[in-house]
Amino acid sequence: MRAFLDSIGYAHWILSVLLLLPLAGVVLVLLAPKEWARWLTLVVAIAEFVLALGLWITFDPDNGGMQFTATLTWLPELGISYRIGLDGLSLFMVLLATAMMPLLVWGSWFAIDQKVRGYYALLLALKTGMIGVFVSLDLFLFYCFWELLLIPMYFLIGTWGSSNRLYAATKFVVYTFAGSILMLVAVITMVTIVARGTGETSFAYDHLVRHSDLLAPYAPWLFSAFALAFAVKVPIFPFHTWLPDAHVEAPTAGSVDLAVILLKMGTYGFLRFAIPFFPAFALSRGVAAVFVALAVIGIVYAALVSMVQPDLKKLIAYSSVSHLGFVMLGIWGGTVASVQGAIIVMIAHGISTGALFFLVGMLYERRHTRLLADYGGLARVAPKLATAFVITAFASIGLPGLNGFIGEFLVLLGSFGRFPVAVGIATSVVVFSAAYLLVAVQRVFFNPITKPENLELHDATPRELAVLVPLIAAMLWMGLYPQPILRRTEAAARRYVETVRPYLPAATTAASTEAR
Amino acid sequence: MPIDLRGPLGLTLALLPVVLLTAWSLVVMLVVAWRHGSEADSRLAGWLSVAGILGAAGATLWLWLAGAESAGQPHMVYLDEYRFVSELLILFIAGATCLLSLRFLGKQRLLAPEYYVLVLFATIGMQLMVASADFILLFIGLEVMSISVYVLAGFDRFRRSSAEAALKYFLVGAFASAFLLYGIALVYGATGQTHFILIGQQLAGSDRSLLARMGLALLLVGFAFKTAAVPFHMWAPDVYDGAPTPVTGFMATGVKTAAFVALVRVLADAFPTFASLWQPIIAVLAVASMVVGNVVALAQGSLKRMLAYSSIAHAGYLLVGVWTATDMGRAAVLLYLIAYSITSLAAFGIITAVERVGSRTVMLEDVEGFFRVRPWGALSMGVCLLSLLGFPGTFGFIGKWYLMTAAIDRNQLLLAVVMGLGSLVSLGYYLPVVMAMTMKPERTPDAHRQVLFSRAAKAIIAVAVLVNLLFGVWPRKVVDLALSASQHMSAQTARRPAGDR
C-alpha cells in the first residue's frame, strides 16, 4: 500500500487535494439539483476520508518535523507563500475532520429539510477552512483560513439554528473576530521584526520559529495578542461565554463540528504558534501560573455549571470547557507525557463529545426539546440509543478502557511535577464530571417514564446507528489499544518539548524530567 | 518617451486624457442641449459619456505604456505611474457611476441628461487634481470637481433632503476651499513658489518659518474637509444620505481618491522636511476618524448614512498610510483607494437598485430577506461588506493588511492597533446588514420584487465583485503595481534637478 501511494506521489498532492476537494464539492452542490445535494456531499465526504486514510498509512511516526509538505509561491516579494504540511499533532486533527465528515452528512440526512443546498455547501466550505487551519505553515495563510472559517459557521448557526440563533451567531463571530484581529497586528509586527534582524521578509512558520530569539524583547505584547485569539477559541475560562450559546443554538452538525474541530484550533494554536514563538515568556513562572490557574478554574467551574444545567446540550457544551482545561494544563506541563496527553485529550474529546452532540441531536429530532426534565425512562423504549449514550458518557467521564482515560491520565501524570496543586484539584474534579453526566444519563434514560410522549419514541434507525457505531468503535479502540496513536504523536510532542525545555524555569526542570 | 513640458504642445500631450475628456464633454453638452426630453435621451447622454471616459482612459493608458516622462525640468503636471494608476481609477469610477445611473435616473424621474455632463466635469477636475504638480492647477481641479459635485448632490430637486445636501456641501466646501486657498497663499508668501517640488526645495534650505507652518496647517484643514476626516467630517453624513445614491457612490470614491492622491503628493513633494510637523496632525486625524467613524456608524439605521460614517472610518485608515511618508505607505494608500473604490461602487450600485421610487433612503429593514429574492445581489453585497470589513479572501483585506504593514514598518504600532480595533467595531454594523439580508424573512411577500438591476449595473457590480475576490486571493499583480507606482513617483521627484521656470 505504502509503495503504491509513493508511486503516485501521494505525499506531494494529498494535502492540497484535501483542501480543494470540498471546495469543488461546494460548486457541485450549488449547481446540481436540490435532491442531489446530500448525496454529492456524502460522496465528497467519503472520498475525502478515504484519501485522508493514506495519511495514517504513510505517516512516518519517527519524524517529528513536517511531512507531506508542499510550497507554492504566492506573494514572493512580501514573503508570503502557500506552505502546507503536517506533523503528529495536526495529523490527527486532519483525520478527525475528514473522518467526521461522512458522519455529519448522515447525521443531517433528514434533519435538514430546507435550504438544503446552502447547508451542505457551507458544511463543505467549513471543512476546507478546518483542514486549512491545521496544515498551514505560513502565518498569512493560517490567518486567512482562521478567519474564513467564521463565515460558514456563522451562516450554519444563523440560518439552521434554533430559536435564539441570530444572537448566538453574532456572538460567535464577534468573539472570534475580536480575538483574532490583534493577532493580525502581532503577525505583521513579528514578520517585520524578524525581517529587520535577518534581512528576509517571510511569513514562513519555520523561519519565524528559528528566529524566535529576535522576538524575545517584544514577547509580552505579541504573546498576549496571540494568546487572546487562541484563548477565545479554546475557550479559556473568562472568554468561554460564546461557547454554550453557539453550541446550543447551532444545528447538530454545527455543534459537532464546533466540538470536534473548532475548539481544538485554540489549543492547537498554543502548541503550534503561541508557545514556540515566545517560549521564554509563555513558560515563565508568572504566565504559566495564570494559564494553569485559568485552566483549573475552567475545569472546576465548567463542571459545577454543568451539574445544574436543565438543558442537555448546554450541559455537554460546558463539559467541553472542562475537558479543554485539561488540554491547557497538559500544554503548560511541558513534559512529553503531558503534551502527548493534551493531544490525546483533544482527539478523545472530539470523538466522545461529537458523539454526545449527535445523540442529543437524535433525541431532539424525536421530541423537539433539549430539557432534561422532558425526558425519563427512555432506556425502555429506546435501548440502543440508551446503550450508545451510556458508553459515550463513560468515555467522556474518562473511564479506563475508553478513550477519555489515557489522555487525562497522561496530562495529570506529566504535569504533576510542575503543578502538583493544580493537578490535585483537577483530579478531584473528575468526580464532578462523573456526577453531572451520570445524573443526566439517569434523568434521561432511567427514571420512570412520566411523560406519555416518551412512550412512543422509536429506537435508533440504521442511519443513526451508522453514525454512532463508528464513533463508539473508535472510543473502544482508542481506549483499549492506543499504541498506534501514541506512537504517531510522540515525535511531535517530543519535538515541542525539546523546543521549549530550555525556557522552562530551572527549578522545576528536574522535577519534570522525573515525571517523564 | 520624454515630453518637453515647457511648450504648450508638450503640456497638451501630458494632459491629453484631460483635454480629450474636456472636448468630449462639450460635445455631450451640445447633444444634451438638443435632446433632453425622454428617458432615451438621458440614456444616450449616459452612453456618450461612457464612450468619452473610455477614450480618456485609452489616452492615459497610451501615455503610461509609451513611458511618458518629463524631459527634466519642473513642470505643472506629473507624468509618473502614480498619476496614471490613480487617473485610471478615477476614470473607472466615473464610468461605473454613469452606468449605475442609467436606470436610476429613469426610475426616480430625474430626466435631465445634464447629470452626465456634470459627472464628466467632476471627472475632469479629479483628473487635474491627481496630475497637478502645482498649487494653481490643483486648486483649479479642486474647484471644477467641487462645483460639479455640489450640483450633483442637489440633483434630485424634488426632494428636500437632496437640496439640503447640496447647500450643506456647498457651504462647507466653499469654506474648505477658502482654507486651502489661504494655505496656498501663505506657502507662496513663505517660499515664492506654487510648484510642489520647488516649494520643497525652498523649505529644505530654510528653517521653518511661521508663514510656511501656518500655510501647511491651513492646507491640512482644507484637505481634511475634502476627505471627510474627523473633526472636519460633519457635512459628510447628511450629504451622503441626501444626495442621489449613485452620486453618493461617486463622492465616496472619486472625490476621496482625488483628494487623497493630491494630499499624498503635497506632503511628499512640498513638505517632506516638515514631516515632524504634519505627521502628528495626520496621526490625530487618523485616530479620530477611525474611532468616530466606526463608533457612530453603529447607531445608523439608514444604509447610506452607515456607509457615510464607514467612509469616514476608511478615510482614517487611508490617513494611516499617508502618515508613514514612505514608498510603502504611499503604495498602500493607492492600493487601498483601489480596493475601497471598487468595493464601495458595487455596494452603492446595489443600494441604488434596492432604493424605492421616491423613498428618502434605504433603511436596514428594507433589505431583510433580500437573499431569498435576489440571491446574486445579496451575495455581491455580502462580498462588498466583507471587503469593507477587511475579511481575508477579499481585496479589502489585502489593502488593510498592506496599510498595517506600512505603519508597523515605521514602528507605528498604535495606529495599526487602532485600525484593527476599528475593524472590529465595524463588524458591528456590517454584520447586521448581512444578517438582515440572509437570515431574516421578508417584511412583505412581494418585497424586493421591484428590485431590478439594469444590464449595465449587473455588469459593473459583477466585475467589481469578481475583481474584489480575484485580488483578494491573488493580489500579487496589483500590490506590485501600487508599489512600483509609488517608487516611480519618488524616483521622479528625486531625479529632478533644481531649475528656474
* pLDDT value of residue A510: 45
Contact B408 A184 (CB under 8 A): no
- Chain B within 8 Å of A165 (Cβ-Cβ)? yes
- Partnered with residue A86 across adjacent β-strands are A67
Contact A256, A358 (CB under 8 A): yes
Contact A263, A233 (CB under 8 A): yes
Cβ-based contacts of A184 with chain B (< 8 Å):
401, 404, 420
Over residues A358-376, the mean pLDDT reads 86
Contact B439 A165 (CB under 8 A): yes
Examine residue B499 and state whether it is found in any structural domain, yes or no: no
Q: Running DSSP on this structure, what letter comes out for residue A386? A: H
Closest CA to B92 of B428, B404, B340: B340
- Total Cβ atoms within 10 A of residue A34: 10
pLDDT in tens, B249-302: 999 999 999 999 999 999 998 998 888 899 999 999 999 999 999 999 999 888
φ/ψ of A127, rounded to 5, equals -65, -45
Over residues A390-405, the mean pLDDT reads 88
In this complex, which of B404, B427, B475 lies closest to A174 when CB atoms are compared? Answer: B427
Among A188, A190, A191, A228, which would you mutate to test the B interface (most chain B Cβ atoms within 10 Å of its Cβ)?
A: A188
Q: Running DSSP on this structure, what letter comes out for residue A419? A: -
pTM: 0.92
Question: Looking at CA atoms only, how far is residue B478 from chain A in angstroms?
Answer: 11
The single-letter code of the amino acid at A218 is Y
Supply the ipTM of this predicted assembly.
0.91
Over residues B357-363, the mean pLDDT reads 76
Average pLDDT taken over every residue of chain B: 89
Question: Looking at CA atoms only, how far is residue A388 from chain B in angstroms?
Answer: 35
Examine residue B265 and state whether it is found in any structural domain, yes or no: yes
Rg of the Cα atoms in chain A: 22
- Chain A within 8 Å of B404 (Cβ-Cβ)? yes
Flag the least confident range among A91-95, A309-313, B37-41, B164-168: B37-41
* pLDDT value of residue A506: 56
Q: What is the dihedral of CA A365, A366, A370, A371, to 10 degrees?
A: 170
For residue A251, cis peptide bond before it (omega within 30 degrees of 0): no
Helix (H, G, I), strand (E, B) or coil at B3: strand
Cβ-based contacts of A74 with chain B (< 8 Å):
474, 476
Question: Looking at CA atoms only, how far is residue B344 from chain A in angstroms?
Answer: 21
Over residues B163-172, the mean pLDDT reads 91
Cβ-based contacts of B428 with chain A (< 8 Å):
174
Question: Looking at CA atoms only, how far is residue B439 from chain A in angstroms?
Answer: 6
* pLDDT value of residue B74: 65
* pLDDT value of residue B500: 39
Q: How many CB pairs under 8 A join A and B?
A: 72
**B474 pLDDT exceeds 80?**
yes
Chain B residues 248-307 with a CB less than 8 Å from chain A: none
* Residue keyed to cell 476608511: B314
Nearest residue in A to B426, CA atom: A174
Contact B480 A77 (CB under 8 A): yes
Contact A312, A353 (CB under 8 A): no
For residue A235, cis peptide bond before it (omega within 30 degrees of 0): yes
Categorize the per-residue pLDDT at B342 as very low, low, confident or very high, splitting at 50, 70 and 90.
very high
Contact B218, B186 (CB under 8 A): yes
Measured CA to CA in angstroms, residue A39 lies from A52, A120, A125, B198 at distances of 20, 10, 16, 71
The single-letter code of the amino acid at B299 is A
- Chain A within 8 Å of B499 (Cβ-Cβ)? no
- Chain B within 8 Å of A77 (Cβ-Cβ)? yes
Flag the least confident range among A56-65, A153-162, A246-255, B123-132: A56-65
Measured CA to CA in angstroms, residue A238 lies from A205, A231, A272, A325, B447 at distances of 29, 9, 23, 12, 43
Examine residue B167 and state whether it is found in any structural domain, yes or no: yes
Nearest residue in A to B439, CA atom: A159
- Chain B within 8 Å of A447 (Cβ-Cβ)? no
* pLDDT value of residue A511: 46
In this complex, which of B423, B440, B475 lies closest to A75 when CB atoms are compared? Answer: B475
pLDDT in tens, A244-260: 889 888 888 888 988 88
Q: What percent of chain A has pLDDT over 70?
A: 98
User: HEC string of A157-204?
Assistant: HHHHCCCCHHHHHHHHHHHHHHHHHHHHHHHHHHHHHHHHHHCCCCCE
Give the CA angle between residues A507, A218, A80 to the nearest 5°. 115
Grid coordinates representing A359 are 445523540
B417/A271 Cα distance (integer angstroms): 25
φ/ψ of A371, rounded to 5, equals -80, 135
Over residues A267-286, the mean pLDDT reads 90
**B367 pLDDT exceeds 90?**
no
Contact A92, A130 (CB under 8 A): no
Contact A147 B391 (CB under 8 A): yes
In this complex, which of B408, B435, B480 lies closest to A158 when CB atoms are compared? Answer: B435
Examine residue B14 and state whether it is found in any structural domain, yes or no: yes
Over residues B316-327, the mean pLDDT reads 93
* pLDDT value of residue B72: 65
**B501 pLDDT exceeds 50?**
no
**A507 pLDDT exceeds 50?**
no
Contact B417 A182 (CB under 8 A): yes
Contact A29, A121 (CB under 8 A): yes
Measure CA A351 to chain center.
10
* pLDDT value of residue A300: 87
Nearest residue in B to A169, CA atom: B435
- Chain A within 8 Å of B459 (Cβ-Cβ)? no
Measured CA to CA in angstroms, residue B458 lies from A13, B351, B466 at distances of 38, 13, 12
Q: What is the dihedral of CA A318, A320, A326, A327, to 10 degrees?
A: -140
Measured CA to CA in angstroms, residue A90 lies from A68, A282, A393, A475 at distances of 11, 21, 26, 20
- Chain B within 8 Å of A34 (Cβ-Cβ)? no
Q: What percent helix, strand, coil does chain A show, rounded to 5?
A: 80, 5, 15
Which residues lie closer than 8 Å to A74 by C-beta, 6 or more apart? A80, A81, A82, A140, A141, B474, B476
Examine residue B164 and state whether it is found in any structural domain, yes or no: yes
Categorize the per-residue pLDDT at B17 as very low, low, confident or very high, splitting at 50, 70 and 90.
very high
Over residues B208-231, the mean pLDDT reads 91
Cβ-based contacts of B480 with chain A (< 8 Å):
77
- Chain A within 8 Å of B71 (Cβ-Cβ)? no
Give the CA angle between residues A87, A91, A94 to the nearest 5°. 140
Examine residue B461 and state whether it is found in any structural domain, yes or no: yes
Categorize the per-residue pLDDT at B467 as very low, low, confident or very high, splitting at 50, 70 and 90.
very high
Categorize the per-residue pLDDT at A514 as very low, low, confident or very high, splitting at 50, 70 and 90.
very low
* pLDDT value of residue B496: 55
Contact B314, B292 (CB under 8 A): no
Contact A185 B404 (CB under 8 A): yes
Q: Running DSSP on this structure, what letter comes out for residue B132? A: B
- Chain B within 8 Å of A75 (Cβ-Cβ)? yes
Nearest residue in A to B405, CA atom: A188
A323/A96 Cα distance (integer angstroms): 17
Say how many domains are in chain B: 1
Burial A62-99 (b: 16+ CB within 10 A, else e): eebebbbbbeeebbeebbbbbbbbbbbbbbbbbbbbbb
* pLDDT value of residue B495: 61
B177/A167 Cα distance (integer angstroms): 47
- Chain A within 8 Å of B416 (Cβ-Cβ)? yes
Question: Looking at CA atoms only, how far is residue A72 from chain B in angstroms?
Answer: 12
Examine residue B213 and state whether it is found in any structural domain, yes or no: yes
Over residues B217-222, the mean pLDDT reads 94
Nearest residue in A to B410, CA atom: A192
**B359 pLDDT exceeds 80?**
no
Closest CA to A333 of A384, A277, A302, A292: A292
Contact A185 B417 (CB under 8 A): yes
Determine the angle formed by the axes of helices A37-58 and A88-107, rounding to 10 degrees.
160
B332/B402 Cα distance (integer angstroms): 6
Cβ-based contacts of B408 with chain A (< 8 Å):
185, 188-189, 192
Closest CA to B342 of B128, B95, B130: B95
**A512 pLDDT exceeds 60?**
no
Closest CA to B64 of B24, B14, B22, B19: B14
Contact A293, A332 (CB under 8 A): no
A153/A132 Cα distance (integer angstroms): 15
Chain B residues 425-454 with a CB less than 8 Å from chain A: 427-428, 431, 435, 438-440
Q: What is the dihedral of CA A394, A397, A401, A406, to 10 degrees?
A: 160
B165/B42 Cα distance (integer angstroms): 23
Over residues B84-106, the mean pLDDT reads 92
B385: containing domain: 2-494
In this complex, which of B420, B435, B474 lies closest to A181 when CB atoms are compared? Answer: B420
pLDDT in tens, B393-449: 899 999 999 999 999 999 888 999 999 999 999 999 999 999 999 888 888 777 777
* pLDDT value of residue A226: 93
Examine residue B444 and state whether it is found in any structural domain, yes or no: yes
Sign of torsion over alpha carbons B201, B206, B207, B210:
negative
**A515 pLDDT exceeds 70?**
no
Per the document, the length of chain A is: 516
* pLDDT value of residue A124: 92
Contact A173 B427 (CB under 8 A): yes
B272/B263 Cα distance (integer angstroms): 12
Cβ-based contacts of B438 with chain A (< 8 Å):
155, 158-159
Contact B439 A181 (CB under 8 A): no
Grid coordinates representing B35 are 435632446
Which residues lie closer than 8 Å to A473 by C-beta, 6 or more apart? none
Over residues A114-139, the mean pLDDT reads 90
Closest CA to B283 of B419, B487, B483, B425: B419
**B499 pLDDT exceeds 50?**
no
Contact B417 A78 (CB under 8 A): no
Q: What is the dihedral of CA A168, A171, A172, A177, to 10 degrees?
A: 160
